Amino acid sequence: MKRRDFLRLTVLGVTSVFSRGSAASKRRPNVLFISLDDMNDWIGPLGGYSGKVHTPNLDRLAQQGITFTNAHSPSTVCNPSRTAIMTGLRPSTTGIYDNGQWWRPALPDVATMPEHFRANGYHAEGGGKIFHHTLGNNPPGLWDNYRPQVQDSPWHYVYPVPGQHAPKKGVNWPDGFPLNDIENVKLGKKPPANYREFDWGPFDKTDLEMGDGQMVQWAVDFLKKTHEKPFFLAAGTFRPHLPWYVPRKYFDLYPLDRIKLPAVKTDDLDDVPKAGREMAEARLADFELVKKEGQYKQAVQAYLASISFADALVGLLLDALKECQYRDNTIIVVWSDHGWHLGEKGAWHKKTLWQRATHVPFFITAPGTTKSGSICDRPVNLVDIYPTLIDLCSLKAKPQLDGISLTPLLRNPKAKWDRPSVITYERGNHAVCDQRWRYIRYNDDSEELYDHDSDPHEWTNLAKDPKYDPVKKRLARWLPKSDAPPALTKSSYIFDPDSYTWTRKEKKRK
Ligand SMILES: [Ca+2]
């Protein structure tokens, strides 16, 4: 080796050691963690709606970083999905399968994402719907500061007021309830299954007057301030969750004569096993009521308006980040807790294992790691967020988590990726999705198999065709090895909102 080359290598070596040292001493990245509620894939970057949808801010976000076009939620209802995302543990590991269970008493020692960030020197602040919104799911002590949800709807009757963990008394009915004028809703009769949320219509309010808008304003104010520690800032909107109340201008984006209804095949469920049909039919009466009342287009319009409202709120957060001192050192993660059926496969609501319920918006912008405008069609799951953030923020590893870090895909969206995405709804029912197929196995061993290359609507169940046995076998290997027994239901506890404690009810003595 010539002396000059030796010197050059030495200098390079010294330089790289130096830069590693300076990177380690550099402030770790902040995280802006945005959660959306019940937002399916009817958004610009995912193209799930056949008409024109207005999501300019999610479109802009897609341009900034990476869009996962084949991302799925861990479950298809709020509490199990959010518990899985925030603990990094699937429902089949925790036994949290539905909204009728409290996650904290079932998992007293599990460190949730904000707790793990705090244990690693971060300031963690949360607002709005991050964990499930009903009483008993937002225990104090998870965050350095938590700003409870402000509701615009009757959900308020079970929800704490800001700064308190106790429930607010009384019901927050909007003037003129129900705005959709459905008689049964007015009378509080079934169907619908839950009349308190079964409503839609415009509010004459500004974005920031809405509960979600107030939460976003709080997050914007947070970003404007100077923070000593790196932060994990979580902001969760409630829309597009029912009831679909949003400012009027979002309804005006979707004239009724331009509303496209989802494609539905009339005999679609004939080749679906009983377990799947029961999931589809759980809210059949709700769907029939929508149609009988002549409200189908209005409901689709209101859902789209709610998507566009939530999109505008994401835009306020993106703008605030762009204008603040943290713009170059903040990771942005945006996700929705599951999708929503508006008639696809005859289903209304969530709680199925099909594409419209499991396929979700999911975006990450990680300065220095993601490239702008990347698209990744590898199958991923939101349970992967926790290990990904551990990786990106150099937090202490948690090898027991169920997901895996997505950083290889953040760097190279086309990286080889054999791992499918697994979705669970109730005990022992799972879907396994890879880049082409969806395999569903229910807890009675009945099955479905769909080929997305030829059947994007999942209309033809191929599970009974022996030709596809190798596909089923390959995907079945990824089914959870065990299905944890369900955690205790809420009825097993007495919950005291003032002390925020859950006490097991004593078993009745003879
Ligand atoms: Ca939800």
What DSSP string runs through 400-459? T-SS---HHHHH-TTS-----EEEE-STT-EEEE-SSEEEEE-TTS-EEEEETTT-TT--
Tell me the catalytic residues.
78, 132
Whether the pLDDT of residue 336 is over 90: the answer is yes
Decide if pLDDT at 81 tops 90: yes
The dihedral sign for the CA sequence 278, 280, 283, 284: negative
Looking at the predicted structure, is the pLDDT value of residue 156 above 60? Answer: no
Reduced DSSP (H G I as helix, E B as strand, rest coil) percent helix, strand, coil of the chain, to 5: 35, 15, 50
pLDDT band at 162 (very low <50, low <70, confident <90, very high): very low
Over 90: is that where the pLDDT of 6 sits? no
**What is the pLDDT, as a whole number, of residue 24?**
42
Output the CATH code of domain 27-413: 3.40.720.10
pLDDT given for residue 169 in this prediction: 53
Average pLDDT (487-504) is 93
d(CA 373, CA 380): 18
Which residues make up the environment of ion ligand 1, defined by Cβ < 5 Å?
A: 37-38, 78, 337
For residue 141, the Cα-to-chain-centroid distance in whole angstroms is 22
**Radius of gyration, alpha carbons of the chain:** 23
**pLDDT of 360 over the 80 cut:** yes
Q: Give me the mean pLDDT over the 226-250 stretch.
A: 97
CA of 246 to the centre of ligand 1 (A): 17
Rounded to whole angstroms, the Cα distance separating 289 from 182 reads 9
Give the per-residue pLDDT at 38. Answer: 98
- Has residue 163 got a pLDDT over 90? no
pLDDT tier at 376 (50, 70, 90 boundaries)? very high
> Can you give the pLDDT at residue 259?
98
Q: What are phi and psi of 215, to 5 degrees?
A: -65, -45
Read off the pLDDT of each residue in 156-173 and give the average, rounded to a whole number: 53
Write out the two tokens for 385.
């967020």
Percent of the chain scored above 70 by pLDDT? Answer: 91
Lowest mean pLDDT among 23-32, 95-104, 133-142, 406-415: 23-32
- Which of 54-58, 176-180, 313-317, 328-332 has the weakest average pLDDT? 176-180
| Residue 397 pLDDT | 98
Residue 9 has pLDDT above 60, yes or no: no
Taking only the tens place, the pLDDT of each residue in 401-411 is 999 999 999 99
Question: How many angstroms is it from 230 CA to the middle of ligand 1?
Answer: 29
pLDDT at residue 412 tops 50: yes
pLDDT of residue 166: 47
Residue pLDDT, tens place only, 103-149 = 999 999 999 999 999 999 999 999 999 999 888 999 999 999 999 88
Torsions phi, psi for 497 (to 5 deg): -65, -25
43-64 as b/e: b if 16+ CB within 10 A: bbbbebbeeebbbebbebbbeb
Residue 171 confidence (pLDDT): 62
**Structure-token pair, residue 175:** 């003037």
The stretch 224-230 carries a mean pLDDT of 98
Tokens of 502: 């859950």
According to the per-residue pLDDT averaged within each range, which of 7-11, 131-135, 505-509 is highest?
131-135
Average pLDDT for residues 65-90, to the nearest whole number?
98
Q: How far is the CA of 486 from the centre of ligand 1 (A)?
A: 20
Tell me what pLDDT residue 265 has: 93
Distance CA 429, CA 90 (A): 13
Whole-number Å distance between alpha carbons of 353 and 91: 14
Return the exposure string of 380-408: e unless at least 16 CB atoms fall within 10 Å of the residue's CB, then b. Answer: bbbbbbbbbbbbbbebeeeeebbbebbbe
Cα–Cα distance measured from residue 359 to residue 58, given in angstroms and rounded to the nearest whole number: 16
Predicted confidence band of residue 509 (pLDDT cuts 50, 70, 90): low
> Whole-angstrom Cα distance, residue 70 to residue 425?
18
Kindly give the distance from the C-alpha atom of residue 365 to the centroid of ligand 1, in angstroms, as a whole number. Answer: 23
If you ran DSSP here, which 8-state letter would residue 19 be given? H
Q: Indicate the pLDDT class of residue 160, thresholds 50, 70 and 90.
A: low
ω into residue 192 within 30 of 0, thus cis?
A: yes
> Cis link prior to 255 (omega < 30° from 0)?
no
Question: What percentage of the chain exceeds 90 in pLDDT?
Answer: 85
Using DSSP bridges, classify how beta strands 421-424 and 145-147 pair: parallel, antiparallel or unpaired. Answer: unpaired
Of 15, 69, 63, the C-alpha closest to 380 is: 69
Q: Is 266 buried (19+), middle (13-18) or exposed (0-12) by CB count in 10 A?
A: exposed
Residues forming a β-bridge with 30: 330
Q: What is the largest CA-CA distance in the chain?
A: 93
Higher pLDDT, 10 or 396: 396
Residues 194-211, mean pLDDT to the nearest whole number: 94
CA 363–ligand 1 middle distance (angstroms): 18
Measured in Å, residue 241 CA sits from the centre of ligand 1 at: 7
476 alpha carbon – ligand 1 mean position (Å) = 27
Interatomic CA distance for residues 135 and 366, integer angstroms: 34
pLDDT at residue 170, as a whole number: 56
**Strand 66-68 and strand 374-376: pairing?**
parallel
Distance, CA 9 to ligand 1 centroid (Å)? 55
Mean model confidence pLDDT for the chain:
92
